[in-house]
Amino acid sequence: MKNYLDCINDYKKEDLKEAASIIKNGGLVLFPTETVYGIGADGLNEKAVKNIFLAKARAQDNPLILHVSDIEMIKKLVKNINSIENKLIKEFFPGPLTIIFEKKNIVPNIITGGLNTVAIRMPSNKIAHDLIELSSTPIAAPSANISGKPSGTNIDDIFDELNGKVDYIINGGNTKIGVESTVVRVIDNNIHILRPGKITYDDLKRIANVIVDEHVLNDVKESQKVLSPGMKYKHYAPNTKCILIYSDDKNKLIDKINEYYNDNTLVIATNKIANMYKNKICLGNTLEDISHNIFKALRQADKENKELIIIEGVKPTGLGLAIMNRLIRACSHNYIEI
Ligand code: AMP
Ligand code: MG
């Protein structure tokens, strides 16, 4: 296929020149990062960024993350970097952390949904890094999926959904982490987690006091103000109805799953639990396995056309907080804890 680059096994930086020139000319490029795939465009080109919103059918007030390749790029985009933000950058960039800063005028309003802040991340994935460097512009890149659907963690899962909506596709295989970056904002010397991810509460605690935003695990009521517009929207949801069940007592968990399980349902769970059922998708054993496999599993489950998907929850600590944040939303808060 034209406008497609296979980087799964290996690639040379110069192979990415074509994709970079598409970015520079205002096109859209589907590319891998270490978290999930992104739909990228030149973050300083308003028209190109508008096309991202159209391709994803994303709400205009849900701002995008700008992806950079070095510190110099950050300095061009943000007004001021305080000492905690500096420590976060030193400790976690490049990597799966996004920091919200006060923006400079150079950042178009369409990126920030009209806010005076901008979200910045420096991916560690080599393809993403090389693409940004070759494009010599910050790349705006939301997760590669139609808004509301599970994020894309490999090209096969999202090809039908996004083919024809982007100008170029870079295939980098399965993404390493599988859930989106941790999004934080520093307010009054506290690090607020607005979206949990691979960089955990305990990782951030080494830098400063950490506050987990109340909406990370809870629904947003209509009248409530949020620190991150993305919290208001439906996310990660398959078409099939889902229920999330969590208990730290395995017997209670199995009893509850059995209440819902029948020929028309399917279980997504860690291997030991999933293997007790005929209709199942196994997530592996560790939190890393679950994070790596969860979006693929949700998409796969949808294809089985069952009446209900039953999902095993995890303890919401460490990487488990990121997993539960995604699962509670995938289930539209249809969640039982026993
Ligand atoms: P996605 O692009 O799908 O990875 O989602 C990006 C997330 O970052 C969304 O939840 C956005 O609401 C959030 N975000 C982006 N920019 C800002 C900002 N300036 N302030 C607060 N949250 C932001
Ligand atoms: Mg997203």
Output the six-digit token pair for 299: 């998409």
DSSP string, 77-123: HBS---HHHHHHHHHH-SSSEEEEEEBPTTS-HHHHTT-SEEEEE--
DSSP β-bridge partners for residue 269? 282
Burial class, 244, CB count within 10 angstroms (exposed 0-12 / middle 13-18 / buried 19+): buried
Atom of ligand 1 nearest to the CA of 183: 8
Distance CA 252, CA 246 (A): 9
- CB of 40 closer than 6 angstroms to any ligand 1 atom: no
For ligand 1, the distance from its centroid to the CA atom of residue 294, given in whole angstroms, is 21
C-beta separation of 96 from 198 below 8 A: yes
**Domains in the chain, CATH or no CATH each:** 4-212 (3.90.870.10), 242-337 (3.40.50.11030)
Burial readout 97-123 (b: 16 or more C-beta within 10 A, e: otherwise)? bbbbbebeeebbebbbbebebbbbbbb
- CB of 230 closer than 6 angstroms to any ligand 1 atom: yes
| Predicted confidence (pLDDT) per residue in 267-307, tens digit | 999 999 999 999 999 999 999 999 999 999 999 999 999 99
> Can you say whether the dihedral through the CA atoms of 132, 139, 198, 235 is positive or negative?
negative
| Predicted confidence (pLDDT) per residue in 22-65, tens digit | 999 999 999 999 999 999 999 999 999 999 999 999 999 999 99
Output the six-digit token pair for 233: 């929207």
Alpha carbon nearest to ligand 1 atom 1, residue: 142
Alpha carbon nearest to ligand 1 atom 14, residue: 63
3-state secondary structure of 52: helix
pLDDT score of 243: 98
| Predicted confidence (pLDDT) per residue in 69-103, tens digit | 999 999 999 999 999 999 999 999 999 999 999 99
